[in-house]
Amino acid sequence: MARSTQKDRGRPNNYLLIILDSCRYDSFVSARPRVMSRLGKVEARWSYASWTAPSLYNFLMGLMPHVSPKRTFAADYYRNDLARYSERLGVAGIRWESLVPKLNLPYFLKTSLDYQTHAMVSLPVVNPSTLLNYGFDTFRLMEKHNDMRAMLKLLKFSSKRPAFYLLNVGETHYPIRFPMSRRNSGQNCTACTAFSSTWMILRPVAAQLMQDAVFSIQGR
């Protein structure tokens, strides 16, 4: 998500890369999000990897989830995908070759375009001690894995330098769960406790339904 204003014109756009970890396209569309859908066209895309860490590595190479093109060489698809950063950042002439040899988006933004580069992640498998922490001014593992609001409070933008933020928002495929702490009270805690209690009752039923489904498939 990139945005510029009349005041900012003349320097690159701020760039936010927000990853809703494990959020599937069909689940997202079924939820009928009213706000996020206004940011741009909602598309069905495919991840380059099946879990968080290697998927995040592809994002840091600058590659968005792909559209599964037919009869297309991978190198040609990468080249066209990376060229779209000219539009996102408001900088002409960005190509695949711009990221060579390191092929690292944060490093390129920081050293070539003078970006501030920051990452906030929710999951320990991509913590600041991993190899993913390269080219960033700051790389922070959040205290809670399901608290995007805490990330938003830390976003800061300057009129002097553009900023790149990677936000890895944790575990959208979990049952509804609120960020819990000793300070939480009131409706959210009550709702969360009620949901957790209900799930504990329903979990054996769900497990039995899954087992019946497996036996049904095997029996065909």
Q: Phi, psi (5° rounding) for residue 133?
A: -80, 80
- Helices then strands, counting H and E runs in the chain, come out as 7, 5
Q: What CA–CA distance (Å, rounded) separates 47 from 67? A: 9
Asked if 52 and 89 sit in the same domain, the reply is: yes
Q: How distant, in Å, are the alpha carbons of 4, 45, 144, 176, 206 from that of 121?
A: 25, 22, 10, 19, 31
Q: What CA–CA distance (Å, rounded) separates 120 from 155? A: 10
Residue 102: how many other CB atoms lie within 10 Å: 13
pTM for the whole thing? 0.76
pLDDT string in tens for the chain (220-residue length): 555 443 445 789 999 999 998 888 998 898 888 888 888 889 999 999 988 999 999 999 999 999 999 999 998 999 999 999 999 999 999 999 999 999 999 999 999 999 999 999 999 999 999 999 999 999 999 998 888 899 999 999 999 999 999 999 986 766 566 776 544 444 444 444 454 555 455 555 555 555 555 555 555 5
- What is the number of domains present in the chain? 2
Asked if 18 and 101 sit in the same domain, the reply is: yes
Asked if 82 and 137 sit in the same domain, the reply is: yes
Asked if 99 and 188 sit in the same domain, the reply is: no
Does residue 33 have a cis peptide bond before it, meaning omega lies within 30 degrees of 0?
no
Asked if 135 and 68 sit in the same domain, the reply is: yes
Asked if 211 and 120 sit in the same domain, the reply is: no
Exposure pattern of 73-88 as b/e (b: 16+ CB <10 Å)? Answer: eeeeebeebbeebeeb
Coil, strand or helix at 141 = strand
66 burial class (0-12, 13-18, 19+ CB within 10 angstroms)? middle
Asked if 162 and 136 sit in the same domain, the reply is: yes
Asked if 120 and 211 sit in the same domain, the reply is: no
Q: Provide the 8-state DSSP code for 137.
A: S
Q: What CA–CA distance (Å, rounded) separates 77 from 185? A: 50
pLDDT at position 4 is 47
Asked if 160 and 195 sit in the same domain, the reply is: no
Among residues 139, 123, 86, 141, which one has the least CA distance to residue 108?
86
Which residue range forms the structural domain that includes residue 209? 177-220
Rounded to the nearest 10 degrees, how much is the dihedral formed by the CA atoms of 14, 143, 22, 88?
0
Q: What CA–CA distance (Å, rounded) separates 100 from 200? A: 51
Instruction: Establish how many alpha carbons lie within 13 A of residue 35's alpha carbon, considering only the half-sphere containing its beta carbon.
Output: 0
Asked if 62 and 131 sit in the same domain, the reply is: yes
The answer to whether 58 touches 48, Cβ cutoff 8 Å, is: yes
3-state secondary structure 37-90: HHHCCCCCCECCCCCHHHHHHHHHCCCCCECCCCCCCHHHHHHHHHHCHHHHHC
